[in-house]
Each structure stands twice: as structure tokens, then as C-alpha cells.
Amino acid sequence: MSTFAENLIGITIENNWMITEKISKHPDETGGNFSAQYIAVNEAGDKCFLKAIDIEKAILQSGVIGLEFTKILQEQMNNYNYERELLEYCKANSTSKIVLIKEYGVINNPHGMIPVPYLTFDLADGNVKHYIKFQEDLDFSWKLKSLHDIANGLQQLHNIEIIHQDIKPSNILQFNDDSKLTDLGRSKCKSKKGPYDDLIYSGDRTYAPIEIYKEFSFLQPTDWYDRNLAMESYLLGNLITFYFTGLNMTALIINKLGTLGISDTTTLKERKAYLDRCFNDSLEEIRTSIHYHDFADPIVTMISELCNPDPTRRNDEKTLRERGSNYSLYRYITKLDYLSNKASIKLRKNGSIN
């Protein structure tokens, strides 16, 4: 059954934005199960991206009736308001590497009582998962610039105590030469109660840090903020891995662990040894995927620090020695900036990264 949120073409929202085109979800994309995506155009011909929250679909899929109907309606509205408030908070704090909200509102449903809340954003060129390629010198230079942008964006969020939790290629949008983080719908905020605070990890499990798996849950820090910041470091390293191999670190490790036969009867010491072995093997696999001698070692070093299976040891040694800043990403921002500039200069000067 088609919902109202899935049929908004032709509707005009506030400030004379007309919804003109529906954006189909790519088959390999996860998330966004209860939202529909559109392009809207104003009288000047400007375009924006519109995210419509499909509360009706959430209710239909749950199969509830009576008071439970009202509960899900309120839950979906609370989730929408939480994401909107986080986006407004980001906007107020000038987070330049986060895709910021333009406008928001509610479209009344003429066919029933369930409204369609919406958010609008600047229209991107595309997301990284479909933008990225895995060859060519120019592409290599672009990857480093994009990763520098994302590290910046993550640190901007952490500076205002927001934990993104869902860092993955489809949540990184490209705007001309800039990469920006989007979709705070699964985020947590230290100073604000949210719908996912009680979850160890609220993002896409395909990209999840290794310690969320029950076999390795003993690795999790007990402090809420440290645990979540450690996951963010892992997710950045995971993303760097994807950029240069087409797979994330979690996938590489899990594939290798599968051949070792990890089970509930395996001791904690054995699990940790297996994990370290698979992690180190994965690092060597990543190294062979980077064909530029000057860049392989520093990139693999960053990944090895950020994705360290032990969350308490994630980060470079200098930062780990600085009390209170274990999970600061500033040194990685600097490192990625240096590598990006180095690749760009080599490309301009020699026509090649080598």
C-alpha cells in the first residue's frame, strides 16, 4: 500500500518550494526505512533536497491499533524533532562540514490524520558510495581531501558533544570539492536525551565497531562518553579503509575470523588473540591495496591506530598521552591535510602520484 509521504510530487510547501521529483533509494543503501526523498524547486529555479518522514509507513508496518497507534505516532514525531533540533544546534555552531538544515515543516495529509514532517537541505552532487572509484591518480588525491573533510566534520560534532554513530559512505555527500557528513537521525548527544541513548551502537551494523559484537563486548569502555568516542574513532578508520579497498575494516576482520571458528566456548584470551591476528592480517591486506609508496605507510598507520581492537588504545601515541583528549581527531585532521596536499602537488607537478 502506497502512503501519502510516498506521493508528494506537485505539492507546494512553505516559501513556495514545489516538490517536483522523487529520488529512488539505491538498492544497496541501508537506513531511511521510514522516509521518502524528493527534490523541490522554488520560483527562482533553485533546487533543494527534501526528506519526508513517513510515519504512516511506520504505523502500517508495525500493525498496531488503538493506543499503540498513538504511541508510534508520538515516537516518530519525537525522533523527527530530535534530529531537527540537533541540526539546528549544528547550524548555530557553524559546523561547516555537516550538511545543515535549510527549512522544516509539516505537510498535512488530506486523506487522514497522519501528518508528514519534513526537512530540507542543499542539494548535493551525490553520496560518496556512488561517487567514489577505486583507481586513477586523481581519484586518490580526491579521497585524501574527502577524508580530511570528514575528520573535520566529526571533530566539529565532538566539539559540541554530538556522536554521529552512523559514519558510512552513503552518509557522506559531495558538494563540488567538499565532502560533508549528513543524517544525524541515529546520533547521540551528551547534553540532550535522545531516542538511541540506551543502545550501545545505533548505526548501521555493517560498519559497526568490532566491540559491539557479543564475542568482543568485553572490550567496551565502561564510561558512556569514552565508549562512544572510541567508536567514532573506529568509524573514521573504517571509512579510510573503505576508501582505499572498497571494504570496511569490520568486513575484513569478520571474514578472517570466520575461518578461525570463534564460538561462545572460546576463552576471552583466545578471542583477543584471534582478533589481533585478523586485525594485523587486514592491515597488510590494506597495505597491498595502496600502490603509492609514499602514502601506504602513513595511511595504514592511521587505520591501525583508529581501528585498534582495544578501544582504550585508539589514537596516535601523543594524543593518548594527553590526559582528557584520548579521542581527539585533530592530529588526524593535520595528517590527512598533509597527505592530501602532498598528493595534489605531486599530481600537478608530475601528472602522477608516484
pLDDT tens for each residue of 87-116? 999 999 999 999 999 999 999 988 877 899
The secondary element (H helix, E strand) that includes residue 60 is: helix 55-62
Residue 39 has pLDDT above 90, yes or no: yes
User: How would residue 131 be classed by pLDDT, with cut points 50, 70 and 90?
Assistant: confident
Check residue 322 and give its pLDDT.
74
CA distance 223 to 340: 35
Cβ atoms of 142 and 43 within 8 Å: the answer is: no
Full-model pTM = 0.92
DSSP state at residue 133: -
Q: Which of the 8 DSSP states describes residue 24?
A: P
**How many angstroms separate the CA atoms of 91 and 14, rounded?**
20
Taking 70 as the threshold, does the pLDDT of residue 262 lie above it? no
Q: Give residues with Cβ within 8 angstroms of 286, minimum separation 6.
A: 241, 244, 245, 252, 299, 300, 303
Tell me which of 33 and 86 has the higher pLDDT. Answer: 86
pLDDT digits (tens, 9 = 90+) for 154-177: 999 999 999 999 999 999 999 999
Residue with cell 512553505: 14
C-alpha cell at 284: 597488510
Domains (ranges, CATH) in the chain?
4-122 (3.30.200.20), 126-350 (1.10.510.10)
What is the rounded end-to-end Cα distance, in angstroms, of the chain?
55
Contact 40/105 with Cβ under 8 angstroms?
no
Nearest 5°: CA angle at 103, between 99 and 104?
Answer: 110
CB 264 within 8 A of CB 223: no
Tell which residue, 49, 54, 27, has the closest CA to residue 39: 49
Which residue intervals of 210-306 are DSSP H helices?
224-245, 249-258, 268-289, 293-306
Q: Sort 222 into a burial class: Cβ within 10 Å, 0-12 / 13-18 / 19+.
A: exposed
* Interval 270-326: pLDDT, tens: 889 999 999 999 999 999 999 888 899 999 999 999 999 999 999 888 887 775 567
Angle, CA 25 vertex, CA 65 and CA 121 arms, to 5°: 90
Integer-rounded Cα radius of gyration of the chain:
22
pLDDT at 318 (0 to 100): 81
Q: How many CB atoms lie within 10 A of CB 271?
A: 20
